[in-house]
Amino acid sequence: MHENEKLGYDRREFLRGSTAIAGATAAGVLLPTGISLAQQAKLKVGLMLPYTGTYAQLGVAITNGFKLAVEERGGKLGGREIEYFTVDDESNPAKAPENTNKLVQRDKVDVVIGTVHSGVAMGMAKVIRESGTLWINPNAGADEVTGPLCAPNFFRTSFSNWQTTHALGKVLKAKGHKTAVFITWKYAAGEQMMAGFKEGFEKEGGKLTKELYVPFPQVEFQALLTEIASIKPDAVVAFFAGGGAAKFLKDYQAAGLKGKIPLYGSGFLTDGVLEAVGDAAEGIETTLHYADGLDTKKDKAFRLAYAKAFKLQPDVYAVQGYDAGQLLAAGMDAVKGNIGDKAAMIKAMEAAKIDSPRGPWTLSKSHNPVQDMYLRKVVGKENKVQGVAWKALADPARGCKA
């Protein structure tokens, strides 16, 4: 089957060859034949995402979202069909450079889409920085990627860890909370979210009384919940995700803290776990760049199309994947499929206004979304939007010199 596919586009390539050469020469490009060939070949998109292990479900959602964006454009970006290359990164940072190499060196992809785990993204950044391949990161929030490590070919369509908690400072202030405790896993993502919150909260005159860390990826919270009960802060802010988040929410309720000390969090605390935790999450408020019930035309259309195509409800990860597709499309359209013209492509992507299900957003100088952070509240099985906690929040991109 692969053989046939290859033959198929080889012939098309041959038929269209003459017009393309004419076009390229007219544009004054130095290597007309090479580029014309590239223009007609399929665009090679490398997906480096977790397809096994803890984050497998996120990898699938991102892939689906991306493919939906492509399908909406008739399966083509900038006039070129897409050929997908997939690598399961297993969320293992030790294998990250090697796995990135599979796409960059073995498959020679034009653009890499990935990944979920921040440690893996750090490994990708190292390899991609050297190869110069275009990189769209649809999730991993490591501040560094659009901070000290930023590069012209690095783009992110999700969030920086800093962004997801920074707006909470304002939210807590508005509720009249003066002291707070932050609890998370002891690893980089948790620490960065803590720092983002601390900065925002202190700017509002609040005081972060204590930072509590659980060794990653342990899920025994009882000792620290007791600690929280003895500190008696005005509010608790938490970041956990997946199984850990589900357990934390249930333990928080079971310890009787839920009605006594209000719990807030970055949106990941209550995303994808509401089915699992029952009423333990009811009423909890979080900030994130996506929410249920946004009720915009774009979001409705996206949700409908996604549900129809994959028989699944979309989540924030699907949106990030979808926007990765949209961002790539914006670039490809601008250069009419000629991805070889990287400078023009990057410029177009930088200037793109992405009409996202989460609401329109643009890119900051360091290529991170400048986006509205929503305040959401858990109502039943939904993270219902309450309003915008911070309009057009931009990551400070500390250390980015590009």
Partner 1 sequence: MDFAFFLIQLLNGLQYGLLLFLVASGLTLIFGIMGIINLAHGSFYMVGAYLAWSLSSLTGSLTAAILLAIPLTVILGMGLERLLFRHLYQRDHLYQVLLTYGLILVFEELRSLIWGDDVHGVAVPALLSASIPLTENLSYPVYRLAISGVCLLLAAGLYFLIQKTRLGMMIRAGASNRDMVQSLGIDIKLIYMLVFALGIALAAFAGMINSPLSSVFPNMGSQVLIICFVVVVIGGIGSVKGAMAASLMIGLAETFGQVLVPEAAGMIVYVLMAIVLVWRPEGLFGRA
Partner 2 sequence: MGNTRLTQFLPYLVVGLLALFPLVESTFYTQLLTKVLIMAIFAMSLDLLVGYTGLVSFGHAAYFGLAGYALALMAPKYETVSLWWSLPAAIGVCALFALVTGTLVLRTRGIYFIMVTLAFAQMLFFIFHDTKIGGGSDGIYIYAKPTMKLGDVELVNLEKLEQFYWLTLALMAAAYLLLRRVLGSNFGRALLGIKVNEHRMRALGFPVFRYQLASFTLSGALAGMAGYLAAVQYGFVNPEILSWHQSGAVLMMVILGGMGTLYGSVIGAFAFVLLQEVLSNQAWFGPSAKHWQLAMGIFIMLVALYLPQGLAGLLARFGRSPVMEAADE
Rounded-to-integer distance, Cα 138 and Cα 148, Å? 19
| C-alpha–C-alpha distance, residues 151 and 146, integer Å | 8
Partner from partner 2, partner 1, none binding residue 242, C-beta < 5-8 Å depending on class: partner 1
The answer to whether 33 contacts partner 1 (rule: CB under 8 A) is no
For 84, 145, 159, 353, 368, the CA distances from 140, given in Å and listed in that order, are 21, 9, 8, 21, 11
Q: Does 119 contact partner 2 by CB under 8 A? A: yes
Task: Name the one range near partner 2 by CB under 8 A: 187-195, 231-239, 284-292, 389-397.
Answer: 187-195
Binding pattern to partner 1, positions 49-88, x when CB under 8 A? Answer: ---xxx-xx--x----------------------------
Q: Can you tell me which of 52, 218, 222, 226 binds partner 2, judged by CB under 8 A?
A: 52
Minimum separation from the CB atom of position 45 to partner 1 (A):
23
What residue ranges in 151-300 does DSSP mark as E strands? Answer: 154-156, 179-186, 207-215, 235-239, 263-266, 285-288
Quick one: which H or E segment has residue 382? strand 382-393
Residue 310 touching partner 2 (CB under 8 A): no
Candidate segments 152-160, 186-194, 329-337, 341-349, binder of partner 2 by CB under 8 A: 186-194
User: Is the separation of the CB atoms in 214 and 238 below 8 Å?
Assistant: no
Residue in 21, 29, 188, 276 binding partner 1, rule: CB under 8 A: 276
Which of the listed partners (partner 1, partner 2, none) does 122 bind, with a CB threshold of 5 to 8 Å by partner kind? partner 2
Please tell me whether residue 220 binds partner 2 under the rule CB under 8 A.
no
From candidates 77, 128, 142, 193, binder to partner 2 by CB under 8 A: 142
Between CA 180 and CA 190, with CA 184 as vertex, the angle to 5 degrees is 110
**Separation of alpha carbons 333 and 316, rounded Å:** 25
- List all residues 6 or more positions away from 166 whose beta carbon is below 8 Å from its beta carbon: 196, 197, 199, 200, 373, 390, 393
Work out which of 232, 300, 353, 391 binds partner 1, going by CB under 8 A. 232
Give the one residue of 6, 11, 16, 126 binding partner 2; rule: CB under 8 A. Answer: 126
Of 173, 186, 207, 347, the one binding partner 2 (CB under 8 A) is: 186
Strand ranges in 20-148 using DSSP code E only, listed in sequence order: 43-49, 76-77, 80-88, 111-113, 134-137
Task: Tell me the two tokens of residue 238.
Answer: 């938490």
| Interface stretch with partner 1, choices 24-32, 172-180, 247-255, 351-359 (CB under 8 A) | 247-255
Q: How far is CA 299 from CA 103, 138, 288, 310, in A?
A: 32, 18, 15, 16
Closer Cβ to partner 2, 214 or 354, answer by number? 214
In the region spanning residues 201 to 220, those forming contacts with partner 1, defined by CB under 8 A, are: 212-220
Report the residue number, 191 or 341, with the smaller CB distance to partner 1: 191
- The reply on whether position 188 binds partner 2 by CB under 8 A is yes
- The one of partner 2, partner 1, none whose footprint includes residue 255, by CB under 5 to 8 A per kind, is partner 1
Please state whether the peptide bond connecting residue 217 to the residue before it is cis, i.e. omega within 30 degrees of 0. Answer: yes
Q: Is 255 left (phi over 0), alpha (psi -120 to 50) or beta?
A: alpha
For every residue of 339-377, DSSP letters joined together read TT-HHHHHHHHHH--B--TT--BEE-TTS-EEEEEEEEE
Closest CA to 284 of 387, 156, 380: 380
Q: Which stretch binds partner 2 (CB under 8 A): 184-192, 246-254, 259-267, 339-347?
A: 184-192
Give the 3-state secondary structure of residue 133.
Answer: coil
Question: x/- site string to partner 2, residues 84 to 113, per CB under 8 A?
Answer: -xxxx---xxx-xxx--xx--xx-------
Residues that bind partner 2 (CB under 8 A): 2, 51-52, 85-88, 92-94, 96-98, 101-102, 105-106, 118-119, 122-123, 126-127, 142, 144, 186-189, 191, 215-216
Residues that bind partner 1 (CB under 8 A): 52-54, 56-57, 60, 186, 212-220, 222-227, 229-230, 232, 242-243, 246-247, 250-251, 254-257, 260-261, 272-273, 275-278
